[in-house]
Structure 1
Amino acid sequence: MVHLDKTTDTILRGKITITQMKHGYRYGFDAVCLAAFVNGYLRKNKKDLSLADVGSGVGTISLILALKNKNLKISSIENNEEFIEIAKENVLKNKFHNSIKTVNYDIFNINKNLKNHFDIVVSNPPFNNKNSNKSNNKFIDVAKRIVDLEKWMEGCVYLLKEKGTLCIILPTNILDVVLVSLRDKAGSFKIYPIWPNTKKSSKRIILLAKKGGISPTELLPGLKLYNNKGVESKKASLLSEEGILNFY
């Protein structure tokens, strides 16, 4: 067993307890926002669905989804053994062992048995390219550096059933790269921009796509985190406190 210096924190008003590394990659806004968006997407769904959380790290997204969706079967897919060890702790600690299965798979060499397997795939992928400056902390570096973004997207689509839904969060400045990489595999894109406030450009995008989708691309209203007086918006508060983002 790997021994790491860890902390235990709570999110969503104490509804979820997360163990994570004290020094290294720690969950942030992107993970919580993506999970809240997917919770909003699933809010009216009553079916039993299967979902893969690709590059799940210590399990933040999976935990938030399990909290709000009792009928969802989640596979947390991660290939870093240290992250997997902590994720398993978090699943047990939050009593989601019936909802979340933590699996050690590499998205670049995915198990063939999982092809066309999931109704939904979510991912908060590493976004720094392989040539960017490395971090001195290997856990930050492995969580933020992606070897091949196009192949990561291909792996996510590979997991989806036909007409299954892909939901990812990414920096706005690489949206074009992701759309090009997906255009032959998915469509019916819905783009949800996130702005810091009313005066600044969007730094993050949430992208919904359908495997085999052919509907026109749609630009959704988006989310402003703060108003022009620096007050947190109601949607942003609901996101951080309740883990729900109503995006329509």
Structure 2
Amino acid sequence: MFAEADLSCDAFLGGRLRIWQPKQGYRAAMDPVLLAAACPARQGQTVLELGCGAGVAALCLAVRVPGVSVAGVEIQPDYGELARRNAAGNGVALEVAEGDIAHLPPGLRTRSFDHVIANPPYYPAHAGTAARDAGRERALREETPLSLWFEVALRRLKPGGWLTVIQSADRLADMLDLKGAGSITILPVAPRTGRDATRVILRARKGGRAPLRLLAPFILHTGDRHERDGESFTPAAQAVLRSGLGIPV
């Protein structure tokens, strides 16, 4: 368990969510918010998040889509407990199971969902410099292959269900080898107009057959460079990050 002194309580969605997370270690920023905004869930549907961490993506989705049923699985018990605490503190019924996605707990292994969302680790194993904090290192560095994340997600989807994933743009080639899914849509996420995308949001449908679509980039900041301190989000990014609206993928 994290000690209280090691936690901060941070605002998301313009203060609609208050999230406890460690001051050191893995700290959620905008990526899980973008992930939740891109998921096309509707009231009454079920959503599973693989690797839910402190629960930010699942809770953002539940706030945006009242009546959606959300569950998550998290391998690090301390973060799973934070997800439960955050759900209770924000009045959201989030079911959190602890375990490895490669060996899902029995309560999840036999269920199917309308949607699966995931923000898998961005860095391949043995690449780059390890983070000093063990929790952050495990959240950001791949132990389970990315291909297995997709395989597990598709097994848990109902026929016609949707998979939504946010990932580092340089992993896109690894994301496109989807067996059993189609109707793929790729949304590049770029920091500014004219800059390369640093993230991609992929959405795919189990059993889908529509052609792949590559959308115009979602731009986060105004201007072509950073010129001042403070927020500089585009209106579209402001609507997602502060007002809790969805991304029309």
Output the TM-score relative to the length of structure 1.
Answer: 0.90
Q: Percent identity?
A: 28
Partner of 1:174: 171
Give the alignment of 1:32-43 within 5 angstroms.
Answer: 32-38=33-39, 41-42=40-41
Deviation at 1:187, TM superposition (A): 1.0
Alignment of 1:3 onto 2:3? yes
Secondary structure of the 2:15 match is coil
Alignment of 1:81 onto 2:77? yes
Secondary structure of the 1:201 match is coil
Q: 1:187 aligns with which of 182, 185, 205?
A: 182
Report Cα offsets for 1:78-103 as digits up to 9, x if no partner.
Answer: 12101011111101111113xx1111
- Matched residue count: 239
Deviation at 1:111, TM superposition (A): 4.1
Alignment of 1:69 onto 2:65? yes
| In structure 1, C-alpha distance between the alignment counterparts of 2:89 and 2:124, rounded to whole Å | 34
Partner of 2:120: 125
Report Cα offsets for 1:25-63 as digits up to 9, x if no partner.
Answer: 10111111111222xx34xx44x1110011000000111
Compute the RMSD of aligned alpha carbons: 1.7
The answer for unaligned runs of 5 or more in structure 1 is none
* Contact 1:157-1:166 within 8 A present in 2 as well: yes
Partner of 2:22: 21
* Contact 2:192-2:224 within 8 A present in 1 as well: no
Amino acid corresponding to residue 109 of structure 2 in structure 1: L
* Contact 1:116-1:161 within 8 A present in 2 as well: no
| In structure 2, C-alpha distance between the alignment counterparts of 1:115 and 1:29, rounded to whole Å | 32
Alignment of 1:102 onto 2:96? yes
Q: 2:219 aligns with which of 215, 224, 237?
A: 224
Q: 1:114 aligns with which of 83, 98, 109?
A: 109
* Contact 1:107-1:156 within 8 A present in 2 as well: no
Secondary structure of the 1:158 match is helix
Secondary structure of the 1:242 match is coil
Distance change in 2, residues 1:68/1:240 (3 Å):
same
Amino acid corresponding to residue 92 of structure 1 in structure 2: A
Partner of 1:134: 130
Q: Structure 1 stretches (4+) deviating beyond 6 angstroms?
A: none
Distance change in 2, residues 1:6/1:244 (3 Å):
same
| In structure 1, C-alpha distance between the alignment counterparts of 2:208 and 2:38, rounded to whole Å | 20
Amino acid corresponding to residue 101 of structure 1 in structure 2: E
Output the TM-score relative to the length of structure 2.
Answer: 0.90
Secondary structure of the 2:211 match is coil
Secondary structure of the 2:182 match is strand
